[in-house]
Structure formats: structure tokens, C-alpha cells
Amino acid sequence: MSILKKVLGESAVYGLSSYIGVFASIFLTPIYTRILSKGDYGIMDIFLTWNNLFMTILPFGLIGGLLRFYPDYKTEIKSLTGTILAFLLMISVVYFLSMFSLQGIIISSVFNNEINFELYLINIFIVIGSMLFSFSMSILRCEFKKNIFLLLSLINIFLIVSLGFIFVYYDRMGVIGFFRASLITVGIMNILGFLAVRKKITVTLNLTIFKYLFKYSIHILGVTILFQTVTFFDRKIILNYCSIDELGIYAIGAKISSLLNLIFSALLLGWFPRAMSMKDNPKLKKIIQSFHDFAWILLFPFIFAFFTFNNELIQVFAPAYNKALLVVFFLSISIIFMGFNNLFYNTGLHILSKTKYITYASFVSLGANVLFSLLLVSNYGIYGVAFGTFLGSVIWLVIQYIYNRKLFNIHFRLIKPIFYFIILSCAFLVFNLSEFVIDSIEYSRLILLKITCCVVILTYSYFEIRKYQRKTQLN
């Protein structure tokens, strides 16, 4: 249980910054959706997607490799971090020159002339700054300096929220105000981030270390690029086949469903470095299996509450976007699949450095996602694109699960997770999309019924956790 407590403790700290950030984002969402048009919200979303794509591509997976190999380079840590930093600085210069010279082509072909040059230029610097800040924060994770990590995360959240509120609400700058706030924030956070890790970094380039990192990271890079590319393709398909307003609706659906990422990202932030540090532990497989069972029990009531009250979330934070409900459903299921896959079902592939199989799964998933989205968008619009994303995530999980089981020789108990998943799907469909339930029950009684169901699930989860603890103590 000591390892479990460490993982949960670190996840709680890492997750706290994410939770506060999302609550702050939720606070701003009703403001943005009431001040910005659906088209402006769509522009914000497609630019954020574009930025995330290049923040994934530019590091070439080396920041992810830092988490994997940091324990192996404790005696020469500056050679590792210095090599990564030198590469990040060089690639930043290349990115700036390329994007600046191709501005006309990108603005017209990618963004359909929906943006101006200032917005385009601001986002170039946001990408570079965010990438460098991510490097600093990853070093703090590797050092298990969770308190400094939390402090910087909270400062980052405070700045982006306060500046965004001032620029968008008070100064009425529109969508460009949001990105101006992001640029100022990322500049300040880079100064603070590098000050926090200054004793662990330098600027050098060790080609041996670079090749070693790149060999591992290239497959991780392929995976992350593919997923960011899929996300961008989804937006581009909607922009081309639907409308900028429908892109805004899809963006709200994606934003609400991304609340589930809080749960999984917090656990992953605490779990992944710990799992990598235990790769030589003979009991590692048993630890992974045990934590897998515990995670499903622990997360089930939180996901159930999210699925049950989804309609209320939209009504409170974006009442004009009620068409996003079905988008939320498909994307939420996808996030659950990807979350548990990243936590457990591909962990063995990372430990064995067999990440090429993750790349194979990603290529198949990308192809399926884009294919189904293109086939369905004409008849079903944004719902067809969301369903394509769901099918892609299913394929991605199944392929990695099979390879992880075959190569790492690990087996998971899946009967309860399948049962939980059926309950979650039924709860969402019945309480949010069933006209019979919504129209035939008085709203106050419907809310009472939802709360009662959540209490029942929470009680069940509590007793299951107690049973798990007793079993673990006996073993």
C-alpha cells in the first residue's frame, strides 16, 4: 500500500493544479460563450488545436523521453537536460522562421482566412513558450518536487484567468484578448520555470544522448502527433463540411468532455514516473494489476456523476450550445478508453521500450477516425465526426491491449470495468438524451433521482474500496 499511497499523494498534488485550472476555465466559459459568438469560439478552438499539434511535434518526443530516462542519468543529469534544451532552442528558431515565411499560405488554406496576422503571430510565440515551460515542469516532475510544480501551476492559472477575464470581459478585445493573455502568461511562466530548475539545466548537445533519446521517443512522438493531428483534422473537417458556428458547438462539447481528463491526467502524472522508477521491481506486474483494479473502483463514482449531470453542465456554462450533448457522449467515452489505456494497458510497452507498437496502433486509429468522420459528416454533421473519434479510440485501445498482454505478459480483470462502462453509458443516455425521462418527470424530482443514483454508486464504491484494502492487507 505504500506505493499506492505515494502515487495517490503525488496524483493529488498534480491533480490539484489541474482541478483549479479547470474550475477557473469553467468560470470563464460562461463569460466567453456569452460574449464571443459561436464563430469566435470556433476560431479559438481551432487555434488551440493547431497550437497543441505543434507543441507535440516540435519537441520530437524528447520531453517525454526525459521522464523515461531521468532515473538513468542521475550522475550526469545536465548532459541529459542540456541536450534536450539545446534541441528545443534550435527547433524553436526553425519553427518561427518557417511559420513566419508561410503565413499567407497557412492563414488562407488552414484557417480559411478567418484570422488576422496579429493573432497568427501571437500564437507562434505561444507555441514556443509553452514548449519550453513544459520542459521545466517535466524536470520538476522527475525530481518529485511536487510543491514547486503546484506553485508554478497555480501562478500560471491565476495569470491566464485574470488576464483573460480583463482582456475579454472588461476590454472587450474578443478572441484576440484571450491569446494576448496567454502570451503574457507564458512569458512570465518561462522566467519562473527556468529559475526553478536552473541548477539542473545547461545548454549542451551530446549526440550520443540525443540518439538514445530519439530512438525511444520517436514512437511516442508518432503517437502524440497522430492524436493531435486527428484532433485538428476533426476541426478541419467540420470547418470545411459544416460551419464555423457548428465548430463552436463541437468545441464546447470537446471542452466539457475534457473535464474527464482531469481524473486521468492527475493519476498519470503521479503514476507514470513512479512506474518507470520501479521497472526492475519483480513485483511490478502485480502492482500494476492491483492499481488497475483500485483505479476503476475509485474513479467510477466520479465518472458516473459527470455522465449523470452532463445536461446541467451545458445549461449552466453554455446554454446556447445544447446541441453539443451527443458530442460530449462520444468524446467522453473516447477519453475514458484513452485514459485507462495510458495508465495501464500500454505501460508494459513503455517499460520494455516497445513503443513502436503504440505507433502502429495510432496509425490504424488515425486512419479509422478520419475515414469514418469523412463518411459520416455529410449525413450526421458534428455527431458523425464525434462518432468517428470514438471508433478510433476503440481501435487504438484494443491493439495496444493485445500487444501489451502478449509482450509484457500481463493480464487484467475486465469483468467489472465492462459492467461499469455499461452503467455509465446507460446513465448518460437515460438522464441526458431520453425525451421520455426528461419530459415525463418533474425537473426537481429528476434532479433528486440523479442525486440518489450518485449516492448509491458512491456507497457501492466505498464498500468496494474497503474490500480492496482488506484484501491487500491480507496479501
Write the pLDDT tens digit of every residue in 348-402: 888 887 878 887 888 888 889 989 999 999 999 999 999 999 999 999 899 999 9
Q: Give the per-residue pLDDT at 473.
A: 59
The number of folded domains in the chain is: 1
**Separation CA 65–CA 76 (nearest Å):** 15
What band does 99 get if pLDDT is binned at 50, 70 and 90?
very high
Q: Give the per-residue pLDDT at 80.
A: 86
**Separation CA 123–CA 111 (nearest Å):** 13
Category of 61 on φ-ψ map: left (φ > 0), alpha (ψ -120 to 50) or beta: left
> CA 165, 168, 169 angle in degrees (round to 5)?
70
**Separation CA 114–CA 305 (nearest Å):** 38
Evaluate if residue 121 carries a pLDDT over 80. yes
Q: Give the per-residue pLDDT at 264.
A: 81
Looking at per-residue pLDDT, the higher value among 158 and 270 belongs to 158
**Separation CA 84–CA 470 (nearest Å):** 45
Q: Give the per-residue pLDDT at 468.
A: 81
> CA 408, 411, 416 angle in degrees (round to 5)?
150
Mean pLDDT of 464-475: 74
Q: Give the per-residue pLDDT at 196.
A: 92
Pick from 292, 333, 291, 331: which is nearest to 425 by CA?
333
Looking at per-residue pLDDT, the higher value among 128 and 40 belongs to 128
Q: Output the nine-digit C-alpha cell for 38.
A: 459561436
Q: Give the per-residue pLDDT at 116.
A: 83
Q: Give the per-residue pLDDT at 125.
A: 95
373's CB contacts (< 8 A; 6+ apart) are 233, 234, 237, 384, 385, 388, 389
Beta carbons of 174 and 36 less than 8 angstroms apart: yes
Q: Output the nine-digit C-alpha cell for 26.
A: 469553467
What band does 222 get if pLDDT is binned at 50, 70 and 90?
low
What band does 1 get if pLDDT is binned at 50, 70 and 90?
very low
Question: Mean pLDDT of all residues in the chain?
Answer: 83
Mean pLDDT of 245-267: 83
Maximum mean pLDDT: which of 49-53, 185-189, 308-312, 469-473: 185-189
Q: Give the least confident one: 25-29, 160-164, 371-375, 412-416.
A: 25-29
**Separation CA 37–CA 424 (nearest Å):** 33
Cα–Cα separations (whole angstroms), residue 125 to 46, 54, 179: 17, 12, 10
Q: Give the per-residue pLDDT at 402.
A: 92
Q: Give the per-residue pLDDT at 474.
A: 45
Domain housing 412: 2-474
